[in-house]
Chains A and B, each alone.
Chain A
């Protein structure tokens, strides 16, 4: 592909790429849902937000959780798009990525590498695309299929010492090239970690399997969403009882208990939109991890704002 054709191709791809990203988390939508005003978000993102304000973030139309509908087609489009994108990037840009990648790796040790990094970004499809179109939601995005677990790994690696943490957050997306053999990426279809050099083959097989899979009779949800609770009206011991019932920890002050219960219910209900919801113990684990993480953030060392 060259010349005009190439730029039309890139321009269209950029549009599609942007459309498939969630306007709240800027990731490719994960278990998408559609609102009655026809805006799409990750199920978890919009459910969380509706606890802040019952309106669509994009058009401000009044929206409640009960208005959300799953959007399986969009989920499927995203999976296929990511597969396509991954392959075409490998083909067209592997050379540049490899060279830039190596330079970036050396720079991790330079004192001012944040500055360095922004000037020599990995030219992945998105960034090349991004140059043309000004748009708030078209930031360069990772080619690694998303997954909560995976996200955090990507962010905190490859730095080894604490003072290198910040720069490392801006390190190249496709760190896999550094030691390709050990690098695992999560398959967007079956969520299993697969060595990066096998992911394409695995994805092919996985998508084949997915396509031939006998669809369940209807899209009957396997789990029913939990009913809405008015936490502010519940006594401490009732909240504790609920937490215990769900298998969650019951210690902490009132605010902690409320947040914990609410977090779990939102996550549980978002999970109900998935074709294959994760196990309850995984959900509990994720809630506990998020709570610990937020506790760390809430004690910023040098912030004296408000």
Chain B
């Protein structure tokens, strides 16, 4: 494998030494640019109690470009689509090399606490979230139970 930029090594070391509470991110054994991520559903959110698997990949030109992140575990969320893609500005046009893996993971955790149906990626979910929030939250809880618990 090609040599890793020191920035990636430093970020990885820090993630291992001082993990973000509620998030684990472990580099793959064979590819140090690929991380296995588990995010704990935040308290007082419909995702509470769930463990959500994600994959995170640092492209060849990281940190000039943002990490690529995707939910592997199915999740009912207005800003996350069926393929697990996440609608988050810092993963797209608001990315800056001043951010890092850590900030990205924290933002994803925050997105679970505060879904934003006005900037939707999953349109049907966002729609329901707007017109009938309690039903949407019920669905999110149900999906969490079904897909994100004891697997």
Interface size class of A (residues with CB under 8 A): 35 or more
Query: Is A25 a contact of B3 with CB atoms below 8 Å?
Result: no
Interface size class of B (residues with CB under 8 A): 35 or more
Please, how many angstroms separate the alpha-carbon atoms of A166 and B9 in the complex? 10
Q: Which residues of B contact A48 (CB under 8 A)?
A: 64
Query: Is A52 a contact of B65 with CB atoms below 8 Å?
Result: yes
Report how many A-B pairs have Cβ atoms within 8 Å: 99
Among residues of A, the one whose C-beta sits closest to the C-beta of B57 is: A305
Query: Is B4 a contact of A155 with CB atoms below 8 Å?
Result: yes
Query: Is B96 a contact of A57 with CB atoms below 8 Å?
Result: yes
CB distance from B95 to the nearest CB of A (A): 9
Query: Is A303 a contact of B13 with CB atoms below 8 Å?
Result: no
Chain B 58-69 interface 0/1 with A at a Cβ cutoff of 8 Å (1 = within): 001001110010
Q: Which residues of A contact B33 (CB under 8 A)?
A: 297, 300, 303
Q: Which residues of A contact B97 (CB under 8 A)?
A: 23-24, 45, 49, 57
Please, how many angstroms separate the alpha-carbon atoms of A300 and B65 in the complex? 17
A237 an interface residue at 8 Å Cβ cutoff?
A: no
- A58, A169, A296, A305: the one contacting B9 at CB < 8 Å is A169
Please, how many angstroms separate the alpha-carbon atoms of A26 and B97 in the complex? 10
Query: Is B13 a contact of A27 with CB atoms below 8 Å?
Result: no
Q: Which residues of B contact A170 (CB under 8 A)?
A: 9, 12-13
Q: Which residues of A contact B14 (CB under 8 A)?
A: 139
Majority DSSP secondary structure for residues of A touching B: loop
B27 an interface residue at 8 Å Cβ cutoff?
A: yes
Q: Which residues of A contact B102 (CB under 8 A)?
A: 136
Query: Is A303 a contact of B10 with CB atoms below 8 Å?
Result: no
Query: Is B60 a contact of A166 with CB atoms below 8 Å?
Result: no
Query: Is B60 a contact of A303 with CB atoms below 8 Å?
Result: no
Q: Which residues of B contact A140 (CB under 8 A)?
A: 10, 13
Q: Which residues of A contact B103 (CB under 8 A)?
A: 136
Query: Is A169 a contact of B4 with CB atoms below 8 Å?
Result: yes
Query: Is B3 a contact of A151 with CB atoms below 8 Å?
Result: yes
Q: Which residues of B contact A302 (CB under 8 A)?
A: 28, 30-31, 34
In the complex, besides A24-B63, A139-B11, 14 extra interface pairs with C-beta distance below 8 angstroms are A24-B97, A25-B5, A26-B10, A26-B11, A27-B7, A57-B96, A136-B100, A139-B13, A141-B6, A162-B1, A169-B4, A297-B33, A300-B34, A306-B70
- The 9 A-B pairs of least Cβ separation, nearest first, read A139-B10, A26-B7, A297-B60, A118-B16, A296-B2, A155-B3, A152-B3, A57-B96, A57-B97
* A→B interface (CB under 8 Å): 23-27, 45, 48-49, 52-53, 55, 57-58, 60, 118, 121, 136, 139-142, 151-152, 155-156, 162, 165-166, 169-170, 293-294, 296-298, 300-303, 305-306
